[in-house]
Structure 1
């Protein structure tokens, strides 16, 4: 079922975390933070929305990192119910797609809950003071292949945040598969 993200809660502070990554290290928010801002993405391996845009996510992450934006992706899905989202499969996906950013495993789902993550993909763009400034979609193409006139909304927003500390007032919510929560 497709889910959309809530409207950006401007100024909401990023929540710290300590999560294992596919590269064998453990990362905190301090490790991810960039001098010009931070992008935290909630993604997974099995979601058709993520699969449709993963190459664009990787491309845009590289561009943002070059601007001084720290980037990380977090998978919080229940891997028992969705084995394709297992930590071993996360390692494979990160390698296959050449992730230049840490791919973190939120097995307890505590970080996803703390951030209010709703779907995959879900993008949280913070300024250098860890204040939320973007909670929108990747680009105007959605799941469709990107055309020459596709507006790269995440890159545009994060560039604005890097330069001014503020995100765009108008943002289109991201849409994707719901986070696969574990049974209570």
Structure 2
């Protein structure tokens, strides 16, 4: 397992070591002990989630507030997604900055997103199955988020605007300037 720092503080790309032969492949998807040794971050997760979406679906930018904040370890099991993390920790040197990475079945990369970040992804392939591990349980009363097309953040989702499909909830999220995190 290789840990790659992103431009955002405490946000890491995890690249597995893949063992491949004529039978197929094997890799260790996550190792809590190795992760903690390499990053100094807690890698204990309590909830796994899976979503399936079609091309153009954009989910985000979501977060959990307060004591219900969640760190996430995300990956794409099938298809391709553009994954986006936004640092919303006001005391962070990278506050208000975002990072994106393409996650796919082929590259088998994962992104570790610490607590205090907003997160979202857009489906770039015909369909995608997206997995994320969370270090805290979901709490509906602690939901928050940032509008996907916020002008202050100016995230490049790598999709034509006319192809983007949003949930009703994601259409009315707050702007970054009006945040209530």
Question: 1 or 2, which has the higher helix percentage?
Answer: 1
Structure (1/2) with the larger strand percentage: 2
TM, length-normalised to structure 2: 0.28
Q: Which has the higher contact order (CA 8 A, sep 6+)?
A: 1
Larger Rg: 2
Q: Give the TM-score of the pair, scaled to structure 1.
A: 0.27
